[in-house]
Amino acid sequence: MRAIVVGAGIGGLAATLSLRRAGHEVTLVERTPRFAEVGAGIQLAPNATRVLRRLGVLDAVAAWAVRPARVCFRTWSDGTDVCSHLLGREVEEEFGAPYLLLHRADLHQVLAAAVPSGSVRLDTTVVGVDQDDGAAYVTTASGERLGADVVVAADGIRSAARQWLFGADEALFSHTAAYRALLPAAAVADLDLPELGVWMGPGRHFVHYWVRRGELLNTVAVFTAEAAQESWTARAEPGEQLCEFAGWDPRVLGVLERAGQVLRYGIHTRAPLARWNVGRVTLLGDSAHATVPFLAQGAAQAIMDAAVLGEVLTDAAPADVPAALDRYVHRRLATATSSQAGAARAGEDFHLPDGPAAEARDARMAAYAAGHRFMPQAAGWTADAGDGPTAPV
């Protein structure tokens, strides 16, 4: 069969690889003139890395990654350890795939390199999608009409395809924003930071982890905001982040102080949909289920979408496509939707005010860690998670 994938983000690239693996001819259409991923970090849990192995790219991805031994949750004001969970060898043994920390550009570049250049149309913006009984079509800005048996719209949080399929609905502001920065490891060597740290405080949290084989520290400082642009390139005012995090542990302030270029990103989501597909056209990744990033699962869920899409279309004939897309959505929608809700709850939990609520959270997290080696969300890392409408996240 012939497939068109719209959007060469992590979701679209994974979908392209998965559909090619299922034996189909894929055209990947991307509006930017070259493959590019704006730099920042990304965590990939075993639910995603297992798929990357199946797609034949895990070794190449892992060569750029850091494999953290554990994640540490800490108190904002003095760095008291609340709890920690294993992420290293034990995760790989239990879930059959590693937990990786990466620079997004490294992940993106490995995925892009695995797609044959003849399958890619860069500098091509899709301005419309339509279909008839026998095929689906995309129209490009230059007026071309490309046809295929299936069209996969992986066009991100601002998805136009979502609007064409289901009518206008806007990206929703989460009332949180993030200062994001990458620092050379040498700049923070004296701060004795864990490989993956999450510092929780009133209305804010701070996440840091090593990427690019440990050469860079990725930092995400999340705060409550009344308004903020959804842009991966908007810069913060100099020193703004220090005012926002005033009073935090000196190690957190040390990182924020030494960050050179700090980006300010307004965190947006999309409301869950009742379905993602119409006939031969389906959404995938952020276009279907953009989430707040507080469980570090947005891209992982897109990668899982890609895996299931490839499975339901394996051995499919053109006439089978609408029913196969129904099966894809049936297998993925509940899990992705519950991941969105879980991430929103995690943010609320991280941001509890000091006092009884935060103390109860800390006690609960410590008690859980005393009885469990892995984080609560590890339930969503098992091989069958995402394979059924009731799979837990």
Ligand X SMILES: Cc1cc2nc3c(=O)[nH]c(=O)nc-3n(C[C@H](O)[C@H](O)[C@H](O)COP(=O)(O)OP(=O)(O)OC[C@H]3O[C@@H](n4cnc5c(N)ncnc54)[C@H](O)[C@@H]3O)c2cc1C
Q: Which residues bind ligand X (CB under 6 A)?
A: 6-12, 29-32, 42-43, 125-126, 154-157, 160, 178, 180, 220, 265, 267, 285-286, 293, 296-300, 302
Q: Which residues contact 3 (CB under 8 A, 6 or more apart)?
A: 19, 24, 25, 26, 27, 148, 149, 150, 151, 152, 313
Distance (Å, whole) CA 155 – CA 159: 5
Distance (Å, whole) CA 387 – CA 14: 17
Nearer to ligand X, 197 or 362 (CB): 197
CB of 303 to ligand X, least distance (A): 8
Give 31: exposed, middle or buried? Use CB within 10 Å, 0-12, 13-18, 19+.
Answer: middle
Nearer to ligand X, 119 or 125 (CB): 125
Q: Quote the crossing angle between the two packed helices 298-313 and 46-54, to the nearest 10°.
A: 40
**How many other C-beta atoms lie within 10 A of the C-beta of residue 183?**
17
Nearer to ligand X, 155 or 244 (CB): 155
Q: Quick check: is 209 catalytic?
A: yes
CB of 35 to ligand X, least distance (A): 8
Assess contact for 69 and 127: CB atoms under 8 A: no
CB of 159 to ligand X, least distance (A): 7
Nearer to ligand X, 79 or 293 (CB): 293
Nearer to ligand X, 75 or 125 (CB): 125
CB of 278 to ligand X, least distance (A): 17
From 99, 137, 179, 209, active-site residue:
209
Residue number of the CB closest to ligand X reads 9
CB of 167 to ligand X, least distance (A): 17
Q: Which residues pair with 66 in a beta bridge?
A: 101
> Which of 221, 295, 232, 292 minimizes the C-alpha distance to 259?
221
Q: State the catalytic residues.
A: 209
